[in-house]
Amino acid sequence: MYGRFNSYAGRCSLRDGFLQQASEALQPNRINVVPVHENKFLHATNQDRFNEIAGFKAIVCNPIYNDVPARVFDALAVGAVPIVPHGLPDLSRCFDAAAQVAFPIVSYIPDNIESLRAATRAAIAAFDAGGAEGMKLRHQAAMDGHFLHHRLTAMLSELIALAKSSC
């Protein structure tokens, strides 16, 4: 299981504490909470970032603002199963219920180590059961609709529709 998270001094202490606890309790894993100024991940090349996460079956995605974290799309792009906190409000805007089951996107109860442990087991079992076909499905979903140009096109379309309805 993989997860690298930025830590911001004075913010997100509950989230950071939970992730640190998960790092210690759920072995083996590569969960790291790194002070943002020390995190070199965002300064790495795209290939190095891909290589860092590509070897994992499950990737923990834990947002700061209860949004859909970019790590969900990273996980899908490398064929891994994303693990997200239950109840992310905009997840259904990105993936319908059928896609969330097919990939799958596995959820856990926020701030609950045992729930994250169970979600991790479920994600790894789903990865193993899906094999290469599951990896291809997840990868293709990311490639077909979840890169920056897809997002910008969707936002522009919404803005144009809003402008037309306002005139």
User: Which among 122, 152, 153, 126 is positioned nearest to 138, based on CA atoms?
Assistant: 126
pLDDT, position 146: 65
pLDDT, position 32: 86
User: Tokens 């990939």 belong to which residue?
Assistant: 103
Cβ(62)–Cβ(1) under 8 Å?
no
Q: Cα dihedral sign for 30, 55, 97, 119?
A: negative
pLDDT, position 103: 95
pLDDT, position 130: 97
pLDDT, position 69: 87
DSSP secondary structure code for residue 34 in this structure: E
pLDDT, position 25: 92
CA distance 1 to 19: 12
Tens-digit pLDDT profile for the chain (167 aa)? 888 888 887 787 888 889 999 999 998 888 988 888 888 877 888 888 889 889 899 999 988 888 888 899 999 999 999 999 999 988 998 899 999 999 999 999 999 999 999 999 999 999 999 999 999 999 999 988 766 777 788 888 889 999 999 87
CATH assignment, 2-166: 3.40.50
Structure tokens given for 101? 């089951």
Identity of residue 84: V
pLDDT, position 107: 96
Cβ(72)–Cβ(147) under 8 Å?
no
CA distance 83 to 81: 7
pLDDT, position 15: 87
